Amino acid sequence: GNSVTQMEGPVTLSEEAFLTINCTYTATGYPSLFWYVQYPGEGLQLLLKATKADDKGSNKGFEATYRKETTSFHLEKGSVQVSDSAVYFCALTPFSGGYNKLIFGAGTRLAVHP
């Protein structure tokens, strides 16, 4: 079946520290991969995406590379800010296009302190 596994949180960092949130997936086909972010009291926002192996998604200083050989899509940021404090969800859709549910990981809470 299809599933997503994320590292457990919370992750607590000081401002300007390097961030890695691990995400691995299991999928039967060729999934598209996503990172969504949920700020306190808000809904889900798409952070970045990648649709095929070796694609790198990037946005707002965050990056993730679609690694088919390790079935991973780890989220990284070189220097986090207090405003990055949120819950980060790794997700996949099993196929490209059409109607296609998102399968989410459990989420990783990030807390960044000044």
Residue closer to another protein (CB basis): 12 or 100: 100
Residue 29, interface with another protein (CB under 8 A)?
no
Piece of the chain touching another protein by CB under 8 A; list 7-15, 17-25, 68-76, 101-109: 101-109
Please name which of 9, 7, 24 lies closest in space to residue 91, comparing C-alpha atoms. 24
Tell the residue number behind the tokens 């990648």, with chain if given. 50
Q: Return the residue of 23, 93, 110, 112 that touches another protein, per CB under 8 A.
A: 93
5 scored as a contact of another protein (CB under 8 A):
no
Rule CB under 8 A: say whether 11 interacts with another protein: no
Nearest to 82 by CA among 113, 52, 104, 105: 113
Residue with tokens 């952070």: 47
**List of residues 6+ apart from 89 with CB closer than 8 A:** 6, 35, 36, 37, 38, 44, 104, 105, 107, 108
Task: Select the residue interacting with another protein from 45, 79, 81, 83 (CB under 8 A).
Answer: 45
Least Cβ distance, residue 90 to another protein (angstroms) = 10
Establish if 49 lies at the interface with another protein (CB under 8 A): yes
